[in-house]
Amino acid sequence: MGEPDDLSFVQTLVNCSQLSVLECGSNRFGGSLPRFLGNLSTEITVIDFQQNKITGTIPTELFNLINLQRLGLLDNELTGHLPLEIENLSKLEVFSCSNNHLIGDIPYSLGNLSRLSGLYMHNNSFEGAIPSSIGECTYLLYLSLSENNLSGPVSSHLFHASMLSELYLDQNHLQGVFPVEICQLRNLVVLDITRNAFSGKVPSSLASCIDLLELQMGENFFTGSIPQSFQYLTSIQHLNLSHNRLSGQIPDFLSNFSLLGLDVSFNNLEGEVPRRGVFTNISAVTTLGNKKLCGGIPEIHLPKCSTNTTLARGSKRRGRLSVAVTLIIAVASLVVGVSIISAIYFLMCIRNKKNKLSQGSLLNLKEPFSKVSYNMLLKATDRFSEANLIGAGGFGSVYKGVLDPENSMVVAIKVISLEQKGARKSFMAECEALKNIRHRNLLKIVTACSSTDFQGNDFKALIYEFMPNGNLRQWIHIEQHTKPLSLLQRLKIAIDVACALDYLHNSCDVPIIHCDLKPSNILLDSDMVAHVGDFGLATFHSDARTYNSNSVAVKGTIGYAAPEYGLGSVVSKEGDMYSYGILLIEMMSTIYSTNRMFEGDLDLHKYAKSALSDQLTEIIDPKLFDDNVVASSGSQYVALARYDCYVKCVWSVIDIGVKCSVESPQDRMRIEDTIRGLKITQEMFLKELSVVEAMHF
């Protein structure tokens, strides 16, 4: 093999009119790609020549095969340009030409490949800018442009490809400020921009990409501090900020993450290194090259912190307070005079304002939204300070605020990021969905604001009832709570969410489809009652058919969105049921639906279905047993009986989750049957558990 005429045999296939797949990968074929490839049957959908020794250029005739869905040319020795004629392959879903010697610009026409889901072009010699047109590939999940000679800034238009899950731009010559519009990639799991020339601050908007597992930003020219907003990247496992020009302290919140690797080496960081979490694992953390760091565990051999350094985190705040006190004293005489006048005016206004806030805050959501002003929200959140930031999502940031100081009216204020594509539509969708619905398990909207800020820019915000116990995702995935959710609590939450879904689907005048049901959208009040929130993607059932195959962005989150949505199907009640089924499985297993173990055809549904038959204990969240079973008193027989009781209950819940998330929409469990099944499971669990506990006496 490896001869110039190795591919001559392909000519014998020209007359095969029904040929649909040509797999020639992982051989040692040499020679060049023959031009007569273009004479193969136009019915062909897959051509694979990867991992050979093919040389020469890519023949333009190859792109006559207009029904190609997958074209694999990676791991060869191809040279020359990528022909512009690639735009003819309008049905192409996956294209790979990585690990070759291709040169020139990346064709702008790639943006016309509207069905493209995977584009792999790394390790070539492509140059010039990244075509912004790639952002038009709304189905794109994987984009790899690493190890080329690409240069210039990254266009924010690239992030219009909002389905992107993995983005690799490392080892190029890209430069400029990295676009804050990265927050539009709500499904992003991996971002690698290592070894470029990006400058400016690390974009705090990255905190909106809450599913990030891997963030690689090393060897650039980033300045400023590590953003406080990164505290919401709670899924992160690998974080590399090394070889930049970052300053300030290492945030203590990184100690709370389940990091497997953290590299902040060779920056200008200072202060004390935390001593908890990942910072106790010297093989997982690298802090070299930061001359002003101190403390940490003894094994990292940093100098001891002085008393002033140790107290630095608190002293900065006290320093600011001291300055404020000094200023207050300096102007006290003026304030006294002004305050007397202000107090009189305030007392005159407070009566009217009190009525507006206490009676008018239950919003009749019709434009214009005039119940609260921008200035009121600015004051309620201390000028939208990071200290009051409690969450970040695809279309905005959420702040805790006190809207009515006299009555201590604590609310959650979702400020819409209007510069993001689809944000205005999301705002209106949420208003429409929530204005006429009331249910104990739906997040209560208090009011809304549609106004302008002090610079005259449009400003929109939604004000919700504050949920003091955060969201479900924090409870099942993040080790920040001293006591994990018990099985009974999870069962109750599952029933709460199902009741909310039943109300939306069956009790509204016009059924509402949520479209984005997932743990981060399930909020918990002070009594741990679940409330379904974030209706930014919701649609009325009567409007569902208006969402065609071009409306990918409104169909939910990868891992939770129904598989038929990816094929262009309209949103449906059955789509919500799929999301709910995945939610149930995740609640019992704490396995992310986007876990890297799920490759190829394997997903959380199939994994759980397989576990039901013979390995259920391997999928169950072990924290369900820690306090309730293992540590319980009683005989070994009682302990085994209690354990069996728990396993049977979890098996039943996961079984319902599997039945809700089957591939065929018409075969999925109905919400009414789901509620009935969960309540029966709850009753049986309590009954059997009471019998087991009676064995003590």
pLDDT tens string 253-264: 998 888 889 999
Residue 589: give its domain's CATH number. 1.10.510.10
Same domain, 519 and 648: yes
β 530-532/522-524 pair status: antiparallel
CB neighbour list of residue 127: distance below 8 Å, 6 or more residues apart: 103, 104, 105, 148, 149, 150, 151
Last residue of a domain, one of 402, 433, 465: 465
Per-residue pLDDT, 482: 58
Confidence band for 364, pLDDT divided at 50, 70 and 90: very low
Tell me which amino acid residue 531 is: H
Residues 494 and 415 in one domain: no
User: Looking at the structure, do residues 320 and 449 belong to the same domain, yes or no?
Assistant: no
Do 526 and 658 belong together in one domain? yes
Domain boundary among 433, 465, 497: 465
Please give the pLDDT value at position 457: 85
Domain that holds residue 394: 361-465
Per the CB < 8 A criterion, the answer to whether 146 and 171 are in contact is: yes
Which residues are designated catalytic? 516
**Backbone angles phi and psi of 23, in degrees to 5:** -105, 110
Task: Round to whole Å and give the CA distance between 428 and 441.
Answer: 21
- pLDDT at residue 631, as a whole number: 45
Please report, as a single letter, which amino acid is at residue 694: A
From the centroid of its chain, how far is CA 1? 47
Q: What is the pLDDT of residue 367?
A: 38
Instruction: Label residue 134 by pLDDT band (50, 70, 90).
Output: very high
Name beta bridge partners: 47. 22, 71
Residues 404, 450 share a domain: yes
pLDDT digits 0-9 by tens, 216-237: 999 999 999 999 889 888 888 8
Whether the predicted pLDDT of 241 surpasses 80: yes
The answer on 527 and 549 residing in a single domain is yes
Q: Is residue 655 part of a domain?
A: yes
Same domain, 518 and 619: yes
The total number of structural domains that make up the chain: 3
Name which of 215-219, 494-498, 684-688, 690-694 the model is least confident about: 690-694
Residue 382 CA to residue 389 CA, distance in Å, equals 10
Query: What gap in Å lies between CA 72 and CA 339, rounded to an integer?
Result: 74
Tell me what pLDDT residue 437 has: 80
The residue out of 465, 485, 500 marking a domain boundary is: 465
CA–CA distance from 467 to each of 333, 381, 391 (Å)? 42, 16, 12
Kindly provide the b/e burial profile for residues 356-378, where b requires at least 16 CB atoms within 10 angstroms of the residue's own CB.
ebeeebebebeeebebbebebbe
Looking at every residue in the chain, the average pLDDT score rounds to 81
**Domain-located, residue 418:** yes
Task: Encode 606-623: b = buried (16+ Cβ within 10 Å), e = exposed.
Answer: ebbbebeeeebeebbbeb
At residue 555 the predicted structure's pLDDT band, cuts being 50, 70 and 90, is low
Query: Is 558 in the same domain as 529?
Result: yes
Q: Which residue has the higher pLDDT, 588 or 362?
A: 588
Helices 487-506 and 573-589 pack at an angle, to 10 degrees, of: 170
Q: How far is it, in rounded angstroms, from Cα 215 to Cα 589?
A: 25
The dihedral over CA atoms of 391, 396, 401, 404, expressed in degrees to the nearest 10, equals -150
Question: pLDDT band at 490, cuts 50/70/90?
Answer: very high
Q: Give the least confident one: 256-265, 443-452, 630-639, 644-653.
A: 630-639
- Asked if the structure places residue 520 within a domain, the reply is yes
Q: What's the pLDDT at 409?
A: 79
3-state secondary structure of 689: helix
Q: DSSP string of 538-607? A: -EEGGGGGG--TT-GGGS--TTTS-GGGGGTPPP-HHHHHHHHHHHHHHHHH---TT-TT--TT--HHHH
pLDDT at 103: 94
Q: Is residue 436 part of a domain?
A: yes
Structural tokens at position 216: 């690689």
Residue 145 has pLDDT above 90, yes or no: yes
Query: Average pLDDT, stretch 428-442?
Result: 78
Alpha-carbon torsion, ordered 493, 498, 500, 506, to 10 deg: -170
Length of the chain: 697
Lowest mean pLDDT among 109-118, 411-420, 452-461, 471-480: 471-480
- At 327 the pLDDT is 37
Q: Spell out where 590-691 has E strands.
A: none
Mean pLDDT across the stretch 612-637? 68
- Rounded mean pLDDT, 574-602: 86
Residues 375 and 449 in one domain: yes
Say what the pLDDT of residue 452 is: 85
- Tens of pLDDT, residues 514-543: 888 999 899 999 889 999 988 767 666 555
Please give the pLDDT value at position 586: 93
pLDDT interval class at 198 (50, 70, 90): very high
**Claim to verify: residue 598 and residue 527 sit in the same structural domain:** yes
Average pLDDT score over residue span 439-460: 85
Average pLDDT over residues 99-120: 91
In this predicted structure, the answer to whether residue 432 has a pLDDT above a threshold of 80 is no
Residue with the bigger pLDDT between 615 and 299: it is 299
DSSP classification of residue 42: T
Q: Is residue 386 part of a domain?
A: yes
Statement to judge: residues 648 and 517 lie in one domain: yes
pLDDT on residue 391: 75
CATH number at residue 428: 3.30.200.20
> Does 458 share its domain with 481?
no
- pLDDT at 630 exceeding the cut of 70: no
Locus of tokens 């600015």: 378
Domain membership of residue 690 (yes or no) is: yes
Q: What is the mean pLDDT of residues 17-38?
A: 85
Kindly indicate the confidence band of residue 570, based on its pLDDT and cuts at 50, 70 and 90.
confident
- The whole-number pLDDT of residue 120 equals 94
Q: Is the Cα torsion angle 527, 399, 262, 186 positive or negative in sign? A: positive
pLDDT at 406: 67
Q: Is the pLDDT of residue 13 over 60?
A: yes
Instruction: Reduce the DSSP state of residue 180 to 3 states and report it.
Output: helix
Burial class (CB in 10 A: 0-12, 13-18, 19+), 205: buried
Choose among 229, 264, 230: nearest CA to 247. Answer: 264
Which run of H or E residues covers position 149?
strand 149-152
Q: Is residue 336 part of a domain?
A: yes
Distance from C-alpha of 22 to C-alpha of 45, rounded to nearest angstrom: 8
* pLDDT for residue 139 is more than 80: yes
Domain membership of residue 541 (yes or no) is yes
